[in-house]
Copies of this chain bind each other. A is one copy, B any other.
Amino acid sequence: MRYTIFGESHGSAIGVVLEGVPAGLELDMTTMKKDLSRRSPKPDGLSTARREADEVQVLSGLFEGKTTGAPLCLVIQNSDQHSTDYEALRYTPRPSHGDYAGFIASKGCLDYRGGGHFSGRLTAPLAAAGAVAKQLLAQRGIWVAAHISSIYGILDRSWEDVEELRTAAAKPFPVLDDAKGEEMKTAILEARQGQDSVGGSIECVVCGLPAGLGAPDFGRNVEGIFSQHLFAVPAVKAVAFGAGVGFAYMRGTEANDPFEVKDGKVLTKTNWAGGINGGITNGMPVVFETTLRPTPSIGLPQESVDLRTGEEVEIEIAGRHDPCVVHRAVPVIEAAAALAACEVLGI
Contact = CB atoms under 8 A, between A and B. Distances in A.
Given A245-B240, A278-B98, A191 B73 contact: no
A248 B199 contact: yes
Contacts of A196: 251-253
A40 interface: no
B101 A282 contact: yes
A342 interface: no
Nearest to A126: B218
B237 A305 contact: no
Nearest to A278: B98
Nearest to A235: B247
A253 B227 CA distance: 27
A184 to B, nearest CB: 11
A111 interface: yes
Interface of A: 3-8, 11-15, 17, 19-20, 23-24, 57, 59-61, 63-64, 66-73, 75, 93, 95-102, 104-111, 116-118, 122, 150-153, 191, 194, 196-201, 211-221, 223-225, 227-232, 234, 236-245, 247-261, 264, 266, 268-269, 272-274, 276-283, 291-298, 300, 302-305, 307, 310-312, 346
